[in-house]
Amino acid sequence: MQTPIDSHANQVIVTVLGLGAMGLPIATRLVRQFRVHGFDLHEDRRLLAAAVGVETFDTAAAAVSGAGIVLVAVRTGEQLNDVLFGATGVAEALSSGSVVILTSTVGSDAIPAAERLADLNVALVDAPLSGGPLRASAGDLLIIVGAEPRALERARPVLECLASTLTIVGDKPGDGQALKTVNQLLCGVHIAAAAEALALADALGLDLARTLEALEAGAAGSFMLSNRGPRILQAYDEDGAQVLSRLDIFVKDMGIVGRAARAAGSPSPLAAAAEQLYLLGQAQGLGAADDSAIIKVLAPSKRS
């Protein structure tokens, strides 16, 4: 096998497993500085990656061969365990001494994965990210990291290539997931609150565009209101808002929040209420829609 880490960053092989909505722009960003391997179950995603200079492979095991850094971009803890330890998992194909960067929000599932990788002399850098595909391709992500210092230093060039804000929150896997869980509680509640406020404004006969503009300028303003507000207003269009963050992602993430809160014995009534809205949206067939479509759970159609 090749040596996992070379002293020159552009000689490091970085493998991206999962070339979906986030994985592909991540790989596109990394290929500017690193030799990038990629794998996805879907051939069309591999072809898109190959078109931007990623060396793609037909199997995940082949893609990680010789890689010093393996970045995993999956949606759930179940997918994480499958890609690492499943029937076609890559764990046994990883180079001894290599580093796995977990970019996904999977909650406490990161901890047993880290322990199993450690038995293979592979370190897990717990690095859940926020920002969406456009910010990923621009290297403008927020990345929250929990990792043993030596592993972090090996992964740092990759993380810094992707992040405009890199926050180190702890020295072990699981710390990043913990803070990302708190982050997602706020994001999920803020989106639900923005949708509820604009649904009420519509019910009161207010012009929604003017209402949003006024709210953004005052004490009620927030990043999520400004970011999701215009998309909430597009939710009733024929095609809805452009899908930048699927509603069912918040079904998953608010589930993680609820489980973490119960395990810690910490009440989370607002998170629980928001989770029910996302679950209702998924049950109504909105799971693949942008999360701004949550307003349609509260108000199926516009009144004004």
Positions annotated as catalytic residues are 180
Q: Is residue 83 a contact partner of residue 74, using CB atoms and an 8 Å limit?
A: yes
Q: Is residue 195 a contact partner of residue 212, using CB atoms and an 8 Å limit?
A: no
How many other β-carbons are positioned within 10 Å of the β-carbon of residue 168? 17
Tokens for 200, please give them. Answer: 């009420």
Tokens for 173, please give them. Answer: 């896997």
Per-residue CA distances from 135 to 1, 26, 90 (Å)? 34, 9, 28
Tokens for 165, please give them. Answer: 């804000």
Tokens for 33, please give them. Answer: 């500085």
Answer positive or negative: Cα dihedral of 34, 26, 93, 115: positive
DSSP-assigned beta bridge partners for residue 55: 37
**C-alpha span between 177 and 102 (Å, rounded):** 10
Q: What is the DSSP letter of 221?
A: -
The shares of helix, strand and coil residues in the chain, as percent rounded to the nearest 5, are 55, 15, 35
Q: Which amino acid is at 209?
A: A
